[in-house]
Amino acid sequence: MGAELRTAWKSITYTMLILDEMVDFVCNLCSHLCCCRAVSEPETQNPASGGEMDGGGGGGEGITHRTVAVNGINMHVAEKGEGPVVLLVHGFPELWYTWRHQIHGLAARGFRAVAPDLRGFGDTDAPPGVSSYSIFHLVGDLVALIDSLGQDQVFVVGHDWGAMVAWSLCMFRPEKVRAVVNLSVAFTPRNPARKSVEYLRSLYGDDHYVCRFQEPGAAEAEFARLGTALVLEKFYTYHSPDPLFIPKEGWGSPDTEIPLPSWLSKDDIKYYASKFEKTGFTGGLNYYRCLDLNWELTAPWTGAHIKVPAKFIVGDVDLTYHTPGIQDYIHKVGFKSYVPLLEEVVVMKGVGHFINEEKPHEITVHIYNFIKKF
């Protein structure tokens, strides 16, 4: 009798494994089809107006848009799907739209994908004043958004500045995060001996883009000279491990024509530009202008660890992956010592900074394969 039960159990287990592989295959196929459709269909409605969307501006069929009152501001949110919530946090110069492929892919896999425009971006309010963009404001917005969704815990995925905000959310309010997947920007501990901008200036000089962003109005004037669409094209097509410089004498000619990569269409640029032309770049630039303020404010967390299950993904052509000392930190004991529940580091060959757009299907699968364990 015991042998028969063991044989039956082995058969059931094998069948369950086969079914799980079939589900993954179908989900992956659905995600791929949705991602392709999201890029190719024309925009039919302004996302700010709410309701279901089709096409480039809406991000594809079934994505809904609404405004949520959080932390004293009105935040625009795009979402799709039902199930455990995955909060997708964008960077600069991005919007909720940077996650359009992942929204479809995660929804197809049984998750509720929620992608806000962060404060200062897109259809979310942009409070005046640099200090309104401190890391406490940014994390506070996400905590309030999580609460508004009726959730005690969510999965969080961040890219670029969104990764920095996600790491901080994990540090300040770990009970809110079930697991985190961050792209491009690894968690680095606060150095009490040096401020952030001071360090970058010592490495690269005044023409480094972060240093150039510090003077209020200066970058905005240069971006206005070049034109919004060209500025976005210059950022999105930057595919180099070298640091990005914006010389004081100018960042090129407004007549420059930039060929777009296969993963970025003219319609995508048109949608991004339509939002940044309305809001300007000041809100996003204020994130950089708060770097030294954040260094001061986070003094109580010097030496703090991230105690949330984590996965990190970066492209090997990403400029962030070539900051001096970062690869030793990521691949040796440093990263793991500060993020003890770090389960996996993925380095994608030949991939640049805007990794979730350049490799949308692969990133969706990486996210899913990690969070499904929880």
| Token digits of residue 258 | 């930039």
For residues 145, 151, 152, 158, the Cα torsion angle rounded to the nearest 10 degrees is -50
Asked if 353 is an active-site residue, the reply is: yes
N-to-C CA span, the chain: 35
Catalytic option among 32, 104, 137, 353: 353
Residues 6+ apart with CB under 8 A from 152: 175, 176
Asked if 160 is an active-site residue, the reply is: yes
How many helices (H) and strands (E) the chain has is answered by 15, 9
Residues 6+ apart with CB under 8 A from 27: 105, 108, 109, 368
Catalytic option among 54, 117, 125, 160: 160
Pairing relation of β-strands 154-159 and 73-80? unpaired
Q: What are phi and psi of 15, to 5 degrees?
A: -60, -40
Asked if 209 is an active-site residue, the reply is: no
Q: Which of 93, 303, 312, 295 is nearest to 185 (CA)?
A: 312
Pairing relation of β-strands 177-183 and 310-315? parallel
Give the Cα separation of 253 and 271 in Å (integer).
22
DSSP state of 180: E
HSE on the CB side for 162, CA within 13 Å? 29
Catalytic option among 288, 321, 329, 338: 288
Residues 6+ apart with CB under 8 A from 238: 244, 319, 352, 353
Q: What are phi and psi of 290, to 5 degrees?
A: -95, 5
Active site residues: 160, 288, 353
